[in-house]
Amino acid sequence: MTDRPRSPSGRFVRTLDAAERDAEACRLRARGLSYREIAEQLDYADAAGAHRAVQKVLRDTVQEPADDLRHLEVARLDALLATAWAVLEREHVAHSSGKLVMVAGPDGVEVPLRDDGPTLAAIDRVLKIMVRRAELLGLDAPRKIEQGGVVKYIVEGVDLNQLV
């Protein structure tokens, strides 16, 4: 890779070409390409570089492609949520060795044993999707963290009389 331009303070400067490349990475991600595919197509060093580029776009307000990607990700999460809800609402029965597990019902007639595992797994998945969606949309309020304590400063090797 060629040397990247730097400011007088020595920090890297983002060029127009780099911004356009990052925006294209965001558009490719919105079309469903993996970070590895984006890295190969746009000649990033690795998938992590493509990921950083997309994150830069989302963070730096190259707004149009970032908004498109956010809308697409929300739509994908909504589709996943609908699928998880369908699993959650379905009745699941236990199987063992390919056969339905039967138990005695309240009236003595055998009924299939209910399997709560898939339901609980679907609940976990629904919650994870909801958390991800809330993060993407910024729905969670910032948390206030309070910390108390005492800070003690010790100044050594300084004559305080010379500071005045």
What DSSP assignment string belongs to 6-29? B-TTS-B---HHHHHHHHHHHHHH
CA–CA gap between residue 57 and residue 64 (Å, rounded): 10
- pTM (predicted TM-score): 0.48
Enter the tokens of residue 82. 């609908």
Which parts of the chain register pLDDT below 50?
Answer: 1
The predicted pLDDT at position 164 comes to 63
Tell me if 88 sits within 8 A of 117, measured CB to CB.
no
| Beta-carbon-side half-sphere exposure of residue 67 (alpha carbons within 13 Å) | 4
